[in-house]
Amino acid sequence: MTNSPILAVVDYGSGNLRSVWQAARHAAADTDWQVVLTQDAAVIRSAHRIILPGQGAMADCMRELRESGLLEPVLRAAESKPLFGVCVGMQMLLDHSEEGDTPSLGLIPGRVQRFRLEGRRQPDGSRYKIPQMGWNRVTRPQGRPAHPMWAGIADGSWYYFVHSYYAQLRDDAHCAGQADYGGLFAAAIARDNLFATQFHPEKSADQGIALYRNFLFWQP
Amino acid sequence: MLAKRIIPCLDVTGGRVVKGVNFVALRDAGDPVEIAARYNEQGADELTFLDITATSDGRDLILPIIEAVASQVFIPLTVGGGVRSVADVRRLLNAGADKVSFNSAAIARPDVIDEAAQKYGSQCIVVAIDAKRRSAEAEQQRGPDGQPLGPGWNVYSHGGRRDTGLDALQWAQDMARRGAGELLLTSMDKDGTQSGFDLALTRAVSDAVPIPVIASGGVGTLAHLADGITEGGADAVLAASIFHFGTFTIAQAKAYMAERGIAVRI
């Protein structure tokens, strides 16, 4: 046994687990962090940092998290440990999702709702498609210091999104990054020891790996 | 705003990437990880792997390729070619694919799209449509409503060998309704000609569906790529030979598109 710190990627059956795990492992390659993919509540309890992935339908993700028995250890971890939510793993941190009228974890005040862009055109004249699928720029909210998770990452960097629903925060102070798709929306959210992104760092090339790497060293 | 995507397509068979790939200084032109890494460095927005293996025996050989690429290259990966079932989707996603592309199997049994989207989410279900402009004769054939089909495009299956008689626009809408998250639209008339996309087809499909459309088939110049976006209304453009043969790099393609005022990730 080594004494290396553990980053646990919560495995409750979500689709993008392996990608998240591999990218986080890549980000931790020259550190002493051990990145584990785990279904074990005890590992989550003893881990130092947590990544909560999520992909697909919100209601399925919530149900699977509950049925896996990992809901309680995740909630406990969210009280004090650095926790990184990805995509639906971000949406679950809010109070409620319009997708399947699903109550969620209530860790950051806000709701998740569907893009309503039908019939609207993008600045270049093409119609808005849903899901938003592809690379979009993430900028930091004006007028306050950037979140420390952005250390070394240029403002306006490109990240990969795939989603039809987005977070509507109740308090703008919880917005850590925004992107524009028919209007600005919260692409990254944060509160205390929680940080989460609507985009997929694990599919966002170097800028995504940089974010996972920053997570290893972030001191909330 | 959302960038328009450039997607190189790699043909895979027998566990190797085939079709001449002409990168300078590659140790092994067929090594999928090296090729994928090179495209990533050039700024490719996604990669599409097309399994051109003819037999189901050889089909699983793509899994280790996807696994190897997914462990090293962190951009979205789509896999198509011979995908038949929800179980195929599961195996490819488990191997590290982000999206899985159906073609003939969706034509044989459209419900497979509903089932796959229900199970894994629309975000990972792509439907590839091979379309060909109808002949004068085919225009006279009667559609489901009893009226002559008129000008338009038919959907082809089995690698473009079989005319299904389906209208491409109606088929695209049906697939979107059933839960496809994206369409990969190839013009059979243009594929391999290097004379540009079928822009009328691309525009018609892109305007007909609420989901993203990837234009494919016919790219020979950088102007063709840009036209697919500006004239065709595509959300992404896919090309094989101009990148494989080293005619242009992805970076050159993006610089050109940016010059034309198209939002690209640089």
CATH (domain of B87): 3.20.20.70
Contact status, residue A130 vs residue A99, Cβ threshold 8 Å: no
Q: Which residue of B has its CA nearest to A123?
A: B1
> Residue B2: its chain A contacts at CB < 8 A?
122, 132, 134-136, 161, 181
C-alpha span between B49 and B265 (Å, rounded): 21
Cβ of B227 under 8 Å from any chain A Cβ? no
Tell me if B45 and A134 make a contact (CB, 8 A cut-off).
yes
- Residue B22, pLDDT above cutoff 60: no
Let me know how long chain A is. 220
Residue B184: per-residue pLDDT: 98
Q: Concatenated DSSP letters for B37-66?
A: HHHHHHT-S-EEEEE--SSHHHHTTHHHHH
Give the pair of three-digit tokens for residue A34.
Answer: 């051990």
Total count of domains within chain B: 1
Residue B101: per-residue pLDDT: 97
C-alpha span between B12 and B129 (Å, rounded): 19
C-alpha span between B97 and B95 (Å, rounded): 6
Say if B134 falls within a structural domain.
Answer: yes
Q: B171 vs A19, which has greater pLDDT? A: B171
C-alpha span between B190 and B240 (Å, rounded): 13
Structural domain harbouring B153: 5-259
Say if B155 falls within a structural domain.
Answer: yes
Give the pair of three-digit tokens for residue B260.
Answer: 């034309």
Sorting pLDDT into bands at 50, 70 and 90, what band is B24?
low
Contact status, residue B131 vs residue B125, Cβ threshold 8 Å: no
Separation of CA B243 from chain center: 15
Q: Which of A15, A56, A134 sits opposite B5 (nearest CB)?
A: A134
> Residue B227: its chain A contacts at CB < 8 A?
none
- Distance (Å) from the alpha carbon of A112 to chain B's nearest alpha carbon: 17
CATH number of A6-100+113-217: 3.40.50.880
- Residue B54, pLDDT above cutoff 80: no
Q: Which residue of B has its CA nearest to A209?
A: B74
Q: Which of A57, A130, A208 sits opposite B210 (nearest CB)?
A: A130
Residue B138: per-residue pLDDT: 86
Sorting pLDDT into bands at 50, 70 and 90, what band is B59?
confident
Say if B52 falls within a structural domain.
Answer: yes
Give the amino acid at B172.
A
Say if B265 falls within a structural domain.
Answer: no
The H or E element containing residue B69 is helix B62-70
Residue keyed to tokens 């003939």: B104
Compute the 3-state secondary structure of chain B and give helix, strand, coil in percent, each to the nearest 5: 40, 25, 40
C-alpha span between A39 and A185 (Å, rounded): 32
**CB count, 10 Å around CB of B237?**
26
- Residue B19, pLDDT above cutoff 70: no
- Residue B131, pLDDT above cutoff 60: yes
C-alpha span between A119 and B57 (Å, rounded): 46
Tell me if B122 and A158 make a contact (CB, 8 A cut-off).
no
Q: Which of A26, A123, A160 sits opposite B1 (nearest CB)?
A: A123
| Exposed / middle / buried, residue B208 (Cβ in 10 Å: 0-12, 13-18, 19+) | middle
Q: A148 vs B147, which has greater pLDDT? A: A148
> Residue A117: its chain B contacts at CB < 8 A?
none
Beta A83-86 vs A49-52: how paired, if at all?
A: parallel
Contact status, residue B96 vs residue A19, Cβ threshold 8 Å: yes
Lowest mean pLDDT among A13-17, A33-37, B35-39, B96-100: A13-17
What percent of chain B shows pLDDT beyond 70?
96
Say if B266 falls within a structural domain.
Answer: no
ipTM of the complex: 0.92
DSSP state of A150: G
Write B165-171 long-range contacts (CB < 8 A, 24+). B165/B141, B166/B107, B167/B143, B168/B129, B168/B131, B168/B201, B168/B204, B168/B205, B169/B204, B169/B205, B169/B208, B171/B129
- Distance (Å) from the alpha carbon of B137 to chain A's nearest alpha carbon: 34
Lowest mean pLDDT among A175-179, B22-26, B145-149, B207-211: B22-26
**A133, A158, A199, A209: best to mutate for the B interface, most B CBs within 10 A:** A133
Tell me if A15 and B120 make a contact (CB, 8 A cut-off).
yes
DSSP state of B123: G
Residue B25: per-residue pLDDT: 52
Q: Among candidates B42, B52, A206, A23, which has minimal Cα distance to B34?
A: B42
Compute the 3-state secondary structure of chain A and give helix, strand, coil in percent, each to the nearest 5: 30, 30, 40
The residues of A annotated with a catalytic role in the active site are 87, 200, 202
Say if B72 falls within a structural domain.
Answer: yes
Q: What are phi and psi of B215, to 5 degrees?
A: -85, 140
Residue B192: per-residue pLDDT: 86
Q: B150 vs A33, which has greater pLDDT? A: A33
Exposure string of A119-129, with b = 16+ CB inside 10 Å and e = fewer, is eeebeeebbbb
Q: Among candidates B60, B75, B104, which has minimal Cα distance to B8?
A: B75
Q: What is the mean pLDDT of residues B93-119?
A: 95
Tell me if A133 and B207 make a contact (CB, 8 A cut-off).
no
Taking chain A (220 residues) in runs of 10, the rounded mean pLDDT of each run is: 87 83 96 96 97 90 94 97 97 96 97 93 85 97 95 98 96 97 97 98 97 98
Give the number of beta-carbon pairs within 8 Å between A and B: 106
